[in-house]
Every structure is written in C-alpha cells, then in structure tokens.
C-alpha cells in the first residue's frame, strides 16, 4: 500500500520508458506522513514506557518517513533523467525506509492498552487449525522473535495461496508482504530501540510482556480482509 506509487512508476517505466514514466507520475505524488498513534504515549505502560514510545514513534518512525520521502524524490528525479543506474541504487533505501514505515504503521495498530485477550471468531479457528492452539502460536512467535539475529521482526502472516496462517521472520526493516508474499497480520518489533531502555538486553522478557497489549481486534480485522481478498 505505502509503496504503491513507486510500483506504478516502475510498471509504467517498463512499458513506456523511464523518462516518460517519471513525467507521467510526478504530478500525483504525495508525501508520506507519520501516522498518529491511536493512544497516548504512556497508554501502554507498564509493558512499554512512555519514553520508549516517544523515541520509537517521534524519532525512529519519523526518520523512516523522512528518508522515504527523500529517496522517492531522488527516484523520480533519476527516472526523469533516464538514469537507470541511480534508480536501481535507490531501491535498497526505498526498501529499508519504506519497510520501516509499513512495519511500524501496522505495529502501532497491533498494540492497545485494552489488549492482551485471546483472539476470537474465525481467527481463533484458523489458529487452532494451523497451530493446534493459541498457546502453541504464542510460543512459536515468541521463539521466532527472540531468535532474530541482530535487528528485525517476527510476523504472523496469511498465505493467500495456501489459505493458511504462517509465522515468519524478517531481517532489518524488510516488509513482510513484499519479501515473502505473506499478508501481515501481527508484527513483533525486536529492534533494540523498541525495548532496550526498559528491558536492557533481555529481549525475551520484552516479547513475553508484549502479549499483554496485543490488539487482537485489529489482527482479526486484518485476517478477515486478507481472507476475503483471497477468495
């Protein structure tokens, strides 16, 4: 969704030339913006402190948005000049910062001060079908998150082709759907900036506490939408 304009530029470029593609798309470009949180910075305490939330949202996520806008501007300029080399070189920057924007925009919605309950309805049924029970899913996601080497994410995603839930691991800010094809439902951010000020280097404690603020209503809505579009 967030990289749709970039994808349209590339698609049009392949059909009618780089310069023409950039000229045809430059007029409708809109800058990416930092989304507001659906709760106060202190609302997720004691699981996540207000200081961490402020830093994570106002500094880290904001930086991804700023860098994404700058990279896209450079991309359009390169396409306008027919500079394929520079356009290709910018793909890594677009992926990292675009992924950071996508991932965090989902992550904020995945959390809630009223969260922590168990999933219900069709999502609950799908979890039982694909993982046996909810506790098995929690254990698998927790293991996947704690075993990320360096920085990255653990995800619960939906495989549209197999019509099944899957747990996956993504390095750095790689966006789940663009890199694996899985539709993101629930993300666990295990970059140190997400927890270090509070949990130090004990990532497992952070992941364990995070289950107390998971917004299963949001995850259920994402699952319903992904499941509907797959049918």
Closest CA to 215 of 132, 123, 146, 102: 123
E strands within the chain? 152-159, 164-171, 183-189
Q: Is 101 annotated as a binding residue?
A: no
**Which phi-psi region, left, alpha or beta, contains residue 59 (left: φ > 0; alpha: ψ -120 to 50)?**
alpha
Sign of the alpha-carbon dihedral angle for 89, 151, 224, 122: positive
Interatomic CA distance for residues 14 and 185, integer angstroms: 32
Closest CA to 114 of 214, 223, 222, 220: 214
Q: Is 193 annotated as a binding residue?
A: yes
- Annotated binding residues for Mn(2+): 56, 104, 189, 193
Could you list the residues known to form a binding site, using ranges. Answer: 56, 104, 189, 193
């Amino acid at each position: 969704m967030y990289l749709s304009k970039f994808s349209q530029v590339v698609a049009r470029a392949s059909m009618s030339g780089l310069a023409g593609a950039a000229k045809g798309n430059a007029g409708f470009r809109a800058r990416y913006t930092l989304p507001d949180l659906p709760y106060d910075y202190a609302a997720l305490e004691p699981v996540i402190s207000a200081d961490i939330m402020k830093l994570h949202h106002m500094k880290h996520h904001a930086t991804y948005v700023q860098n994404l806008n700058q990279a896209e501007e450079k991309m359009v300029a390169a396409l306008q000049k027919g500079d394929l080399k520079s356009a290709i070189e910018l793909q890594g920057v677009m992926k990292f910062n675009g992924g950071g924007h996508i991932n965090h925009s989902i992550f904020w919605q995945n959390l809630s001060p009223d969260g922590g309950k168990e999933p219900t309805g069709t999502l609950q049924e799908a979890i039982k079908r694909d993982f046996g029970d909810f506790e098995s899913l929690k254990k698998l996601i927790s293991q996947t998150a704690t075993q990320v080497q360096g920085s990255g994410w653990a995800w619960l995603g939906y495989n549209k082709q197999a019509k099944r839930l899957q747990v996956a691991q993504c390095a750095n800010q790689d966006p789940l759907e663009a890199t694996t094809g899985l539709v993101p439902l629930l993300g666990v951010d295990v970059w140190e900036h997400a927890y270090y000020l509070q949990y130090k280097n004990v990532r497992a404690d952070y992941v364990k506490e995070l289950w107390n603020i998971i917004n299963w209503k949001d995850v259920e809505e994402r699952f319903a939408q992904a499941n509907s579009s797959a049918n």
